[in-house]
């Protein structure tokens, strides 16, 4: 990371960013070309490893790409706002906080794994618990992205 003054290493601060953000951008590679999607997500830390969860239809371009190449890169950010004022364009910047890193996607298969991941996603997105999944878990792909390394940084305008 070039700007070490903006680096965030405290897991509580990283969790704060993740808690406030509701969309992650996940980059995949298809036939040598990048493909990026915005996705709703949920997360948890497992012994210092960041686990991101998302769900999808059981078929489609994203699923086909991930079955062929499960390596991805995820980026999650929060906007903060424009920094600077005046007529000199070079003094302007933008406040933000972000978490990002390379990961590997795995498809969750068991009923228990899917329920756990969907519960995490729903709690993250709504702040609530106790959901039912009456549509049937067989009709949805539930994925876990494991980020064994990740970085976080912020420009808070300080």
Distance (Å, whole) CA 76 – CA 41: 10
Q: Is the pLDDT of residue 1 over 60?
A: no
Assigned token pair, 63: 């699923």
* Domain-located, residue 85: yes
Least confident of 7-11, 37-41, 80-84: 80-84
Express each pLDDT in 95-142 by its tens digit.
778 999 999 999 999 989 999 999 999 999 999 998 888 877 888 999
For the segment 6-10, the average pLDDT, to the nearest whole number, is: 79
* Domain-located, residue 50: yes
Kindly state the helix (H) or strand (E) to which residue 147 belongs, with its residue range: strand 141-147
Beta carbons within 8 Å of 93's beta carbon, 6+ residues apart:
82, 83, 84, 155, 157
* Domain count for the chain: 1
Percent of the chain's residues with pLDDT above 90? 65
- The separation between CA 14 and the C-alpha centre of its own chain, rounded to angstroms, equals 12
Reduced to 3 states (helix: H, G, I; strand: E, B; else coil), residue 42 is strand
Do 101 and 150 meet the contact criterion of CB atoms below 8 Å apart? yes
- Domain containing 81 equals 4-153
Kindly provide the residue ranges of all beta strands, DSSP E only, lying in 17-124, ordered along the sequence. 23-30, 33-40, 42-46, 49-56, 71-83, 93-108
CATH number of the structural domain spanning residue 141: 2.30.110.10
* Domain-located, residue 158: no
* Domain-located, residue 126: yes
Residue entry with tokens 């903006």: 6
């Amino acid at each position: 990371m070039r700007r070490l003054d903006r680096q965030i290493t405290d897991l509580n601060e990283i969790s704060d960013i993740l808690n406030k953000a509701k969309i992650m951008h996940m980059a995949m590679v298809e036939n040598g070309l990048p493909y990026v999607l915005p996705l709703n997500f949920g997360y948890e830390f497992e012994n210092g490893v960041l686990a991101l969860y998302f769900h999808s239809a059981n078929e489609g371009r994203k699923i086909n790409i991930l079955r062929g190449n499960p390596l991805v890169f995820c980026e999650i950010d929060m906007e903060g706002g424009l920094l600077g004022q005046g007529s000199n364009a070079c003094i302007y910047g933008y406040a933000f906080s972000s978490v990002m890193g390379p990961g590997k996607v795995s498809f969750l298969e068991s009923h228990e794994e899917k329920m756990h991941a969907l519960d995490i996603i729903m709690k993250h997105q709504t702040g609530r618990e106790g959901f039912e999944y009456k549509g049937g878990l067989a009709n949805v792909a539930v994925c876990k992205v494991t980020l064994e390394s990740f970085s976080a940084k912020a420009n808070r305008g300080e």
